[in-house]
Each structure stands twice: as structure tokens, then as C-alpha cells.
Amino acid sequence: MYATSLDARTGATICCVSRIARRSVLPTLYASVVLSSSKKIKLFLSGLAANEAMGKTSVRSSTLVRRLWIGPVSKREERDLFYASKSWPVPEIRKILALCTRLRDLALINVYPMLWPRLTIPATLTSIAIGPLHARVHVHVADTSAPASISSTVKFDTYGHSSWKVELVGLSPFLCRQYRFYPAISRAVSSPVEEHHDLPPILSTLLELTCHADTVDAVNERLDHMWRGICPDPRLLPLRGDDANPGQPGDEIAVLHAKWESALPCAMVQQCVELS
């Protein structure tokens, strides 16, 4: 399909040509969406709402979204979505998550713990990435009549006594992979060992630990010293993260976003397309 090779700006222009062109391009435009500022979040919701108002005469763009990143894509470009920012448009995010009924992969980056009780994650998710998270949070799933289908989690720079792990394991019996991403091994070993004691045997990998500021040998040495004597789980797999921005070291959000982008079926990532 020709649309798979288009960038977001060109695709948005083609959507204005005709309904036939719009129908062919929309699935590619909306397959993966990145909203890195409050303005883009509000514009995206406005576009979804306008499309919903068209009724049966138009393809529902909200049902085409499969992967959604909400939050900054770099520590150096956090804009108004920095950690503990009061500019997070929580009502708009709630509406977007409610409209995207076929969402499979969600990333919520820099969301302050106090905002989590106001958010509801879709039950359709198979993968979710969150962080930083340094406090206890309570996560709500949209459809509580059936267990969540999450099989993979990415926890970015999370430590402290978080109830996320307990809730997620209880809500999703399909969880088989937990990936922990840290800016440095010092953060990783500061997490309490107790957080990993009660994870069920169903997890094929208890912990894939990435520290992009340390070598694998350094990670292994610290783990042997701090953890393995207390929690010797063979599923623990330390990794060394590649720095996505060699010229700008220390930007772990950019590294995580680059990894998230690398999982895309095509190279296009939509920053924000306002429907006409």
C-alpha cells in the first residue's frame, strides 16, 4: 500500500483530497500516535471528536489507533508536560483513552502519581509503559468485567513502594514480561527487593533490566552484590541500553522513545494530525 511510505504531513494533506484518499491513508496515519505536549493532546482530541460527529458517513479514526505515546519524547523537550506539571490535560487524556477502543500499546511518560487516580487505562491493552514513578499509585482499568489482556510492561525509572506491580499482576493473568528501564544502575538497586518476591511463576522474564549509563559488567557486578544473594531469580536479565543521542548523554526519555519507535511496523510516527 502506497500510504505506508508517507510521512504524517503528506498523509494529512492527502486526506483533504477526497474521501477515497482519506480512507486509504487514515489507517497508516493513526496506527501510531505521539502526543508530546498539551497542545497536541487537545488538538488530537478535537480531531477525534470532529470525526465522531460525522457519524456513519466517515471512518472512525479513533478505532484506528493501535499505539499511543503521551508525554515528552526527550528530557530536553518536555515542554509543559514535565513531571509534576499542572498543565497535564487529564480530562482530555481520559476522553482520548475512552475513544480509542482498539488501543493495544500505551506509553504514559512523566505522569505525576497524584494524577493516576483520574486516569483509566483501556482493557484492550497488551503492552504499557509508564514512568518515572516514585510513589504508590492506583491504576483503573476501563472494563472490570474481564481481566486486562496486558502481556508486557515497561517501567521507566520506577522505584519506591509502588502498588502498580500488585494491581497489574492481579488484573492481567496474561502478564509474561516485565521490562525495567533505568538511567543508571544506582537507581535500579535502590528499588526494594520485596517488589520482586511475589511475582507469579507465569512471568517468562521477571525483569529485563536496562541501564543505559552503565556497562553490562557493571550491572551484573552491582546485582551480584545487592540482589542475587537475596533474590536469586534466573529470569533476571540485565541489558545495556544504547544511547539514542550520543551527543546528548543522560536523556533516558529519548532512549526509551527511540526503543518504542523501533517497534513500529513502519517508520512513520504521527506527532499530531488535526482532522479537517
CATH of the domain at 68: 3.80.10
pLDDT at residue 219 above 90?
Answer: no
Contact present, 238 and 223 (Cβ < 8 Å): yes
State the helix-helix crossing angle for 38-53 and 90-99, rounded to 10 degrees: 40
Range of the domain at 57: 31-262
pLDDT at residue 147 above 70?
Answer: no
> What share of residues in the chain are helix, strand, coil (percent, to 5)?
40, 15, 45
In this structure, is residue 46 part of a structural domain? yes
Task: Tell me what the pLDDT averaged over the chain comes to.
Answer: 69
pLDDT at residue 91 above 90?
Answer: yes
CA angle 262, 266, 268 (to 5 degrees): 90
pLDDT at residue 197 above 60?
Answer: no
Domains in the chain, number: 1
In this structure, is residue 267 part of a structural domain? no
46-65 pLDDT per residue, tens: 989 888 877 665 678 889 99
The candidate with the shortest Cα–Cα distance to 169, out of 193, 186, 153, is 153
In this structure, is residue 272 part of a structural domain? no
Percent of the chain with pLDDT over 70: 47
Phi, psi dihedral angles at 144 (to 5 degrees):
-90, 0
Give the residue-averaged pLDDT of 227-241. 60
Sign of the torsion formed by the C-alpha atoms of 51, 54, 59 and 63 = positive
Question: What pLDDT does 166 receive?
Answer: 39
Question: What pLDDT does 1 receive?
Answer: 32
**Alpha carbons 79 and 36: distance in angstroms, whole number:** 8
Give the residue-averaged pLDDT of 69-90. 88
Lowest-pLDDT choice from 56-60, 107-111, 251-255: 56-60
Give the residue-averaged pLDDT of 204-216. 57
- Write the DSSP symbol of residue 91: H
In this structure, is residue 13 part of a structural domain? no
Sign of the torsion formed by the C-alpha atoms of 174, 176, 180 and 181 = negative
For residue 190, the SS3 value is helix
**Alpha carbons 240 and 209: distance in angstroms, whole number:** 8
Q: Which three cell numbers stand for residue 93?
A: 487524556
- Supply the DSSP string of 164-227, one letter for each residue: HHHHHHHH-TT--EEEEEESSHHHHHHS-GGGGTT--TT-SEEEEEEETTS-HHHHHHHHHHHT
**Alpha carbons 249 and 120: distance in angstroms, whole number:** 34
In this structure, is residue 113 part of a structural domain? yes
CA angle 215, 159, 95 (to 5 degrees): 115
For residue 58, the Cα-to-chain-centroid distance in whole angstroms is: 28
Question: What pLDDT does 270 receive?
Answer: 32
- Number of H helices and E strands in the chain, helices first, is 8, 10
In this structure, is residue 187 part of a structural domain? yes
Q: Which three cell numbers stand for residue 109?
A: 511518560
Q: Which amino acid is at 36?
A: S
